[in-house]
A and B are shown apart, each in its own frame.
Chain A
Amino acid sequence: MLLPLLSAATLLLTPSLAVFQDEAFHIDYHFALLGAPKESTTFFHQPNPASKASLIYTLSEEGALGAVNPRDGSLVWRQLLQGQHQSNASFLRAGEGQDLVVSGSLNQVAAWSAEDGRLAWRTATDGVLRDVEILELSDGKEMVGAKDAVALSGSHGAQSSVVRLDGATGAVKWTYEFDGSDEAYQVSASSTHIYAILLHKTLLGYLRIRVVSLDPVTGKKIDEYMLSSENELATADTIVSVGANSASPIIAWTDAAHSTLKVNVVGSKAISSFTIDQHAGETVARVQVHAPYHINSLSHFLVHYETATSHWADVFHVDVNNGKVTKAYSLPKLAGKGAFSTSTSDANVYFTRITRDELSTVSSASHGILGRWPVTSFGVVSGIGEVIEPVHAVSEVSVKGDAVSAIRTVVLLSTGDWILLRGGTATWNRPEILASTVAATFAMPAEVEAFAERLQAEASSNPVSAYVQRLTRHIAELKDLPALLVSFPQRVVNGFLGTSEDDLASDNFGFHQIITCATRNGRMLALDAGNPNRILWNRQVADLKKEQAWNPRLASSKGGEVTINSQAGTGFRYNISNGEQLVSILPVDVEGDAKAAREVRFTMTDSALDATVDSKPAWHFSPASGQTIHSLVPRPVNDPVASIGKVLGDRRVLYKYLDPNLALLVTKSSLTLGPSNTATFYVLNTVSGAILHASTHNDIDLTSPIATLISENWLAYSFTSAASATAPKGQQLVIGELFESLVPNDRGPLTGNQNYSSTISTPEPYTLTHTYQIPEAISKLAVTRTKQGITSRQLLALLPDSGAIVGIPYNALNPRRPVGRDATKDEQAEGLLRYNPVLEFDPKWLLSHQREVLGLEEVVTSPALIESTSLVFAWGLDVFGTKISPSFSFDILGRDFNKFQMLGTVAALGVLTFVVAPLVTRKQVDQRWKFL
């Protein structure tokens, strides 16, 4: 009895800001992504050797390892490996009939349970990993239990080594260290030997391939030789392939001009040379080798040639006995790009070719096509006029007799989508490109913004003209009436079932804003925040070289368009509803503000801040000696404040220090200097350069993230303090609020002046701060934004350790919470509670509730058209978005509003009226006829 009462009482006391159960999974969306899969680390594999059902395993370019169900594309499990965004340095292997997958990245070799992704073992190697292979030995006694792994590692300039790791425990069985400082390249294992391939740099700067063969059991060197690749190899980039784990592993390379292909079967010194056909004078841009990955499959391989506009392939056979390589047949040249995948069935090898419009399978033995499926659509969106090309593919083929009975192919497309083709039809797609988002912004569709502006105009004009305007608007809207009437029944049904999928144009609440995301590889795509499962468009906006950073910044200056500024160029504008590029007349100054008479522009260089007025230097800020600038956050340009003061419990006013020219600057000690790590947080007036507030924190763990935020008249920052003799390691969240005066009803020295110049007088704010001990590190802080700033604020914090995003109500952090005493009656009226230095994150504050949101890096917010609601979008590896109402949804009916009950009541009343009406009439008539 007492317990429910108590809990009810606590509900009344604490502001229960929370995600409601009926809203979870409806208002929020989440893409659990892996990132673009790499060709070499993607494969079908049976997690349970006893069953035939297989999963797709991949280790992506973002360093995420995961398994995807090929039936519907859902994620089965996922692990984040260290070393994100580092391509070419991670490996994923699975032994045949094994229930473990072995990954390698940086210097960690780890084995994961294929079924549920649990870590089986993890071993660190001395150098950076160059390759990881599974030993598929043919001698019987080694086959018991888990198969062992071989790892090749070597740092630049240091000694390279090969280790054999026990498949069950990860223990090192033997280590072989190479002499010399040759760069380790790859390791491959045949049934009897382990071959390590190293690159030896000659005096002339060319590379020679050095092959060392080792005994798999003892780790002793058996043989060593150099391949005479004279002056052909200038860099390692032209080495096409070193086939691993096959009956006869091969090394293939070309010269820089891609004119000849040289193939060597590892173990023999003979080199076969083939001339690459130059079709119609087009230069071959890329040569790839696709070889089967099974030790007992036929030693056939396919060489894939690619020019700018076409592609073709040759199939070669290797004679296992004498190591001779012969060309068997060619696959015809086709326009566009294509992808080849290799699949095996027993000893047979099949090659599947995916082009823009067709999928076909051939056997490696002969060129007869075993199956052909036209691909009408990949089921993904692209930019206007863009042709979607396959980038790479992995197939699972089942063959009956001479025909392919079923084929499943996962293809990475040039749009960055990862799709599965069953036969020739697209079954599902995963927008893995979103995992490489580097910038994103909200933009209002033009129609919605026009509507909002019209409403604004009506609200601000005098009542008569507003009425006339409204009337004319309604008359103008009458032309949509027939269409509305037609769609009305459907809309009613949708409204009741909660399945309404209203379009962008008729969005009166501003929930259907368009989120544009720029990705690391120069593409841009758009999502509808109200219906995020549909990508509106996806196009290439920047032509980048491999590994080139472009640092895009997105902004939406006005409805219907988005502007990109990047290193590739500034002021590119795009229509957000279809991705069309708009003709750029002038680079639009996004932040231009007509009211300000004088503009001060400031930039941040590596070690200082510099401001200029009319291209003359205005002020300069350089950090104290031994300190470097860590970050700078200016107050957002569009930061509406509803009230210029805070009303106290006794109805007096504390005036906020509101200045649009505020910035929070963080400096930290350069890591090289001294053991005492400090960070200093400055609040700057960016017009005069004056320091308004500064606080220094000692013993900070500078390797942990420092998150900062400034908005309205308050600032927040979070850091991790290092363990010291007096205090343990812990995370702290500091919140500070700036006031004009701490005396109520006092507006400070400037009193009620209409305008002021910061260069003439900068009154200093009175700052109140509170520090809270928080349970985990915050990587990024943001704040909710609403249209007029009336709604109370929530501090949004990304928690990387628990994969969550939390919305902390401002009142829980309020720096005016009384310290060391209970709140007085007036303070209680303001909702202030006694200060408690430990702030636990209430589970109800978690915006991501049950979802596990991995790798989030950034979060942006945007106001909806209705005051109560703010839209949130967070990205990193995963993409997460929601809409939140920090002061509850006071201007819109929630999901808990029972439409059925309301309509039922109305209907019942109507029926009742109809039933009772004749009774009442009769009674009245009867009364007339009665004599008194």
Chain B
Amino acid sequence: MTTTQLTTSAPQWLHDMTSPSTAVIQQKSKTPILDPPGFTALQTKQQKSKTPAPVRKQPTPEEMDTLKLKKAWELALGPAKQLPMNAIGMYMTGNSLQIFSIMMVFMLFKGPIGAMFSIQQTFSRLETETNRGQMLLVKAAFVGCNLLALALGIWKVNGMGLLPTTRSDWLAWETARDPLERAYFVPS
């Protein structure tokens, strides 16, 4: 309503200024005046972008599955890619029991274990009825990679001497032998 009022009462420039887009479109459609050189009209742009869009066709479900599988493999092998980095970090922190190295080892354990517990969630987006069989393999790979990270953690913990793998760790459970006889010195 306002537009019509404006067109009737207000001058054309004002109308053009208040609603420039409509003005341009109107101008385009109505006036025969050529655009200034170097001016790229909005319309042409619209025409350019519109030309490929209609040709893009929806991917087939098979294609979708391959894509999702590809993505899932990427996710599954992600932890393995972090391994060398983690290994270097662990090697650098040394085997002494310090708050820093303990924290790092804790993170090392927390990451893979957490990831393994949330495995369904991680892959639920990528799982479909059709690729379920292949997905199993992917999940197994994911678990394997996380286990590798865990192994790194265990290697580190062993290096720090926290694993009861040696004889001395079980020494407290070994008991001394009791002699059957007891000798007493009797001062003469």
A residues neighboring B (CB under 8 Å): 553, 591, 593, 595-605, 611, 613, 632, 634, 641, 643-645, 647-648, 650-653, 658-661, 663, 686-687, 744-745, 750, 752-759
Contacts and interface: CB of A to CB of B under 8 A. Distances in A.
A651 B166 CA distance: 6
B184 A599 contact: yes
B180 A597 contact: yes
Interface in B68-126: none
B53 interface: no
A645 B168 contact: yes
Contacts of A687: 179, 181-183
A747 to B, nearest CB: 8
Given A645-B171, A651-B167, A652-B166, A754 B177 contact: yes
A643 B172 CA distance: 7
Interface string B146-188: 0000000000000001000011110110111111111111111
A660 B182 contact: yes
Given A645-B168, A653-B168, A601 B183 contact: yes
A758 B166 contact: no
Contacts of B176: 641, 644, 658
Contacts of B184: 591, 599-602
A750 B171 CA distance: 16
State the 10 A-B residue pairs at the shortest beta-carbon distance, nearest first: A596-B182, A686-B183, A651-B166, A600-B183, A647-B168, A755-B178, A757-B180, A687-B181, A661-B183, A603-B188
Nearest to B166: A651
17 contacts: A597-B181, A599-B183, A599-B184, A603-B185, A603-B186, A644-B174, A647-B168, A647-B171, A652-B168, A653-B167, A660-B179, A661-B179, A754-B178, A755-B178, A756-B180, A758-B179, A758-B180
Interface residues of B, number: 22
A644 B188 CA distance: 33
Given A603-B188, A641-B176, A759 B181 contact: yes
B182 A756 contact: no
B153 to A, nearest CB: 20
A632 B183 contact: no
Contacts of B166: 650-652
Contacts of A754: 175, 177-178
A653 B185 contact: no
The A interface is mostly helix, strand or loop, or mixed, namely loop
Nearest to A757: B180
A758 B178 CA distance: 10
Contact of A593 (B161, B180, B182, B187): B182
B107 to A, nearest CB: 26
B186 A758 contact: no
Given A553-B187, A596-B182, A601-B185, 14 more contacts: A591-B184, A596-B180, A598-B182, A599-B183, A600-B183, A645-B168, A650-B166, A651-B166, A651-B168, A652-B167, A653-B168, A661-B181, A663-B185, A758-B180
A603 B182 contact: no
A653 to B, nearest CB: 5
Nearest to A759: B181
A38 B39 CA distance: 133
B182 A634 contact: no
Contacts of B180: 596-598, 755-758
Contacts of A643: 171-172
A600 B171 contact: no
A647 B188 CA distance: 41
Contacts of A686: 183, 185
User: Could you say which of B169, B176, B183, B188 has the most chain A C-beta atoms within 10 Å of its C-beta?
Assistant: B183
A757 B179 contact: yes
Contacts, number: 109
Contacts of B175: 644, 754
A661 B183 CA distance: 6
B33 to A, nearest CB: 53
Nearest to A605: B188
A756 B179 contact: yes
A650 B187 CA distance: 45
Contacts of B179: 596, 659-661, 687, 755-758
Contacts of B187: 553, 603-604
B167 A599 contact: no
Contacts of B178: 595, 754-756
A644 B171 contact: yes
A652 B178 CA distance: 23
A600 B182 contact: yes
A599 B180 CA distance: 9
A634 B171 CA distance: 27
A604 B182 contact: no
Contacts of A611: 183
Contact of B181 (A598, A632, A653, A753): A598
B115 to A, nearest CB: 33
Nearest to A637: B184
A293 B128 CA distance: 124
A620 B185 CA distance: 14
B161 A651 contact: yes
B169 to A, nearest CB: 7
Given A553-B187, A605-B188, A652-B166, A599 B182 contact: yes
A645 B175 CA distance: 10
A595 B171 CA distance: 23
Contacts of A661: 179, 181-183
B95 to A, nearest CB: 12
A115 to B, nearest CB: 47
A643 B167 CA distance: 13
Nearest to A658: B176
Nearest to A610: B188
Contacts of A641: 176
Given A652-B167, A745-B167, A602 B186 contact: yes
A660 B178 CA distance: 9
Nearest to B164: A651
B185 A602 contact: yes
Nearest to A592: B184
User: Could you say which of B171, B175, B185 has the most chain A C-beta atoms within 10 Å of its C-beta?
Assistant: B185
Given A651-B169, A652-B167, A752-B174, A634 B181 contact: no
A595 B183 CA distance: 12
A553 B183 CA distance: 19
A422 to B, nearest CB: 47
B178 to A, nearest CB: 4
User: Could you say which of A648, A660, A753 has the most chain B C-beta atoms within 10 Å of its C-beta?
Assistant: A660
Nearest to A595: B178
A589 to B, nearest CB: 9
B169 A756 contact: no
A632 B185 CA distance: 9
Contact of A599 (B168, B171, B177, B181): B181
A298 B167 CA distance: 89
Contacts of B174: 644-645, 752
A599 B181 CA distance: 6
Nearest to A656: B176
Nearest to B180: A757
Nearest to A600: B183
Contacts of A745: 167
B108 to A, nearest CB: 23
B183 A602 contact: yes
A758 B181 contact: yes
A647 B169 CA distance: 9
A755 B168 contact: no
B177 A755 contact: yes
A653 B174 CA distance: 12
Interface in B33-88: none
A683 to B, nearest CB: 13
Contacts of B186: 601-603
Contacts of A755: 177-180
A653 B171 contact: yes
Contacts of A758: 179-181
Nearest to B174: A644
A595 B168 CA distance: 28
Contact of B177 (A600, A648, A753): A753
